[in-house]
């Protein structure tokens, strides 16, 4: 075995969930090592979160009802209780008292009328704390800075986890692609930990277009599944209804790398009163759901897709309020892409969030001993078949803290970890990218917003072959992009299989050849 290092707690990922877990473990006196592929905050999905973070205020029961209703009553009530009962305390402790986040407010203390609480789709009241429409970056960057200065936390950036190190049902750590000095390891670099917390984020890079940052390849889910961990609810992939429609004639080609990122038009814009209009200039959501534009995401996303199919386009009319004043950053991003919001913003659904993942309990414990998972790679049960807006940051914070507290107390146990093999010549530079193109095509065509049983069967067959090909290459090569492709192909196959096995349309799993059981009215069927 090569050289190795140890840590009391190892966290993989630096979004809000991973950072919260690291913070909680360090508070308990543990030495924490954080490994992340990210080289800058923008590489984490948290930094891209716009709308805000929901809190219970003085009505946890009302919050719980909204979460359950948005999920078509498929969310786990016990998990929802954990979320809503811990929401206020977690936000006050970490975001307000520890970090001093300055949420938008007219003055006042936490949970007072002074806070500018927002409202988004499927919320029955205003309960969302926010900073303009870029809440995630205002949370993550101070949190990372705080951890950088913590004497019990070490962060390894630009460092990918390739494989879990396991023995007889226990996770002992991970194989990294770099040494602690930043040198590439061609045989994997082992880190042994008392507990391992996966916080690797989402799956956006499995789809042609996503609101996730590049590199959201399902790494944690892929590694955990290959190690034998229980995975659940993978068919529930949420599509956001209002991403900027890149196919619109109004949208200019990106002039720089930042502009190339998918422009998400925050749900908070509809919360302020924006209306969706089809290509005929007609508002269509009131005929589909009693909450109109503030219906659950699955309902609005399908309605937008159908409106584009039938009339050529859908636009978000923001003329009902001062869009530039309320959302200056969004207005600037639209203008950089050649869109004048005064003419309406062309929108289309886009992959956004995975509601399933590594199955965990109310402390983030997975089915393998000493393995935890938090954030988007985890299936806590809170979201069920469809996530309520602005609950992802909250879930990451609450479960991250609980997992970090629970993960302490185990001693690292170094074992004989086999070196990863890198004996064959490097593959062509575009090899992994070309395979990803194939994966994108099958996921976009057959495992997207609207599915049918034949397409899912074809997708599963293609993805099985792709996984087999990638497995063969991984056996004798150690490269980050190749392992990302492996994790992505495993995760994509899990999604396709789960979708094919679930013959009931519910939430964001919608089968065009089956009746729906979402929160939509019959007009949405």
**Mind telling me the catalytic residues?**
297
347 in the Ramachandran plot: left (φ > 0), alpha (ψ -120 to 50) or beta? beta
CA–CA distance, 442 with 406 (Å, rounded to integer)? 40
CA–CA distance, 438 with 431 (Å, rounded to integer)? 11
User: Between β-strands 314-317 and 357-359, what pairing exists: parallel, antiparallel or unpaired?
Assistant: unpaired
Residue 205: phi, psi to the nearest 5? -75, 0
Q: Which residues contact 95 (CB under 8 A, 6 or more apart)?
A: 53, 101, 139, 397
Q: Which residues contact 519 (CB under 8 A, 6 or more apart)?
A: 69, 70, 72, 122, 289, 295, 296, 298, 299, 386
CA–CA distance, 492 with 444 (Å, rounded to integer)? 11
HSE toward the beta carbon, residue 278, CA cutoff 13 A = 18
Burial group, residue 468, by CB count within 10 angstroms (0-12, 13-18, 19+):
exposed
Counting every residue, how long is the chain? 525
Paired strand residues for 153: 32
What does the block give as tokens for 436?
A: 């990803």
Residue holding tokens 């277009």? 209
How far is the CA of 256 from the CAs of 44, 253, 260, 264, in angstroms? 20, 9, 6, 17
Q: What DSSP state is assigned to residue 198? A: E
The CA dihedral of 362, 367, 371, 377, to the nearest 10 degrees, is -70
Residue 379: which of 397, 368, 402, 395 has the closest Cα?
Answer: 395
Q: What DSSP state is assigned to residue 204? A: G
CA–CA distance, 2 with 420 (Å, rounded to integer)? 10
Instruction: Give the count of beta carbons closer than 10 Å to the beta carbon of residue 168.
Output: 6
User: Between β-strands 5-12 and 184-198, what pairing exists: parallel, antiparallel or unpaired?
Assistant: parallel
What does the block give as tokens for 493?
A: 């196959």
CA–CA distance, 106 with 273 (Å, rounded to integer)? 20
What does the block give as tokens for 512?
A: 């065009």
Q: What DSSP state is assigned to residue 451? A: B
CA–CA distance, 394 with 67 (Å, rounded to integer)? 12
How far is the CA of 162 from the CAs of 131, 433, 474, in angstroms? 35, 18, 11
């Amino acid at each position: 075995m090569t050289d190795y290092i140890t840590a009391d707690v190892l966290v993989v990922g630096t979004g809000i969930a991973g950072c919260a877990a690291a913070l909680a473990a360090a508070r308990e006196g543990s030495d924490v090592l954080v490994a992340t592929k990210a080289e800058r905050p923008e590489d984490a999905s948290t930094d891209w979160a716009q709308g805000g973070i929901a809190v219970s205020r003085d009505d946890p029961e009302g919050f719980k009802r909204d979460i359950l209703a948005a999920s078509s009553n498929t969310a786990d009530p016990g998990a929802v209780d954990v979320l809503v009962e811990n929401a206020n305390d977690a936000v006050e402790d970490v975001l307000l008292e520890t970090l001093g986040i300055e949420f938008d407010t007219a003055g006042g203390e936490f949970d007072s009328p002074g806070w500018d609480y927002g409202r988004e789709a499927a919320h029955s009241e205003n309960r969302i704390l926010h900073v303009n429409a870029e809440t995630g970056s205002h949370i993550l960057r101070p949190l990372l800075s705080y951890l950088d200065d913590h004497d019990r936390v070490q962060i390894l950036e630009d460092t990918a986890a390739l494989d879990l190190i396991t023995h007889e049902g226990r996770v002992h750590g991970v194989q990294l692609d770099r040494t602690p000095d930043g040198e590439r390891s061609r045989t994997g670099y082992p880190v042994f930990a008392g507990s391992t917390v996966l916080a690797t984020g989402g799956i956006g890079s499995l789809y042609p277009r996503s609101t996730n940052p590049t590199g959201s390849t399902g790494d944690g889910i892929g590694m955990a599944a290959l190690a034998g961990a229980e995975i659940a609810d993978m068919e529930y992939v949420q599509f956001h209804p209002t991403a900027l429609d890149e196919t619109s004639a109004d949208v200019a080609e990106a002039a720089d790398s930042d502009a190339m990122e998918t422009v998400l038009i925050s749900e908070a814009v509809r919360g302020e009163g924006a209306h969706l209009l089809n290509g005929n200039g007609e508002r269509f959501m009131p005929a589909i759901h009693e909450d109109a534009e503030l219906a659950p995401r699955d309902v609005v996303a399908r309605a937008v897709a159908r409106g584009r199919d039938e009339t050529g386009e859908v636009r978000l009319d923001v003329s009902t309020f001062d869009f530039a004043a309320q959302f200056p950053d969004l207005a600037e991003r639209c203008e950089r892409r050649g869109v004048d919001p005064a003419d309406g913003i062309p929108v289309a659904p886009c992959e956004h969030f995975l509601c399933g993942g590594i199955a965990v309990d109310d402390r983030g414990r997975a089915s393998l001993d000493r393995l935890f998972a938090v954030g988007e790679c985890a299936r806590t049960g809170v979201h069920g078949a469809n996530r309520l807006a602005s609950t992802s940051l909250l879930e990451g914070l609450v479960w991250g803290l609980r997992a970090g507290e629970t993960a302490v107390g185990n001693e690292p146990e170094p074992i004989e970890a086999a070196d990863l093999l890198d004996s064959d010549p490097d593959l062509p530079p575009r090899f992994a990218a070309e395979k990803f193109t194939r994966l994108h095509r099958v996921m976009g065509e057959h495992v997207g917003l609207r599915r049918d049983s034949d397409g899912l069967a074809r997708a599963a067959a293609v993805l099985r072959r792709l996984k087999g090909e990638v497995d063969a290459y991984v056996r004798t090569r150690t490269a980050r992009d190749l392992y990302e492709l492996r994790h992505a192909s495993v995760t994509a196959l899990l999604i396709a299989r789960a979708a094919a096995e679930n013959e009931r349309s519910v939430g964001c799993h919608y089968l065009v050849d089956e009746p729906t059981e979402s929160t939509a009215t019959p007009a949405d069927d």
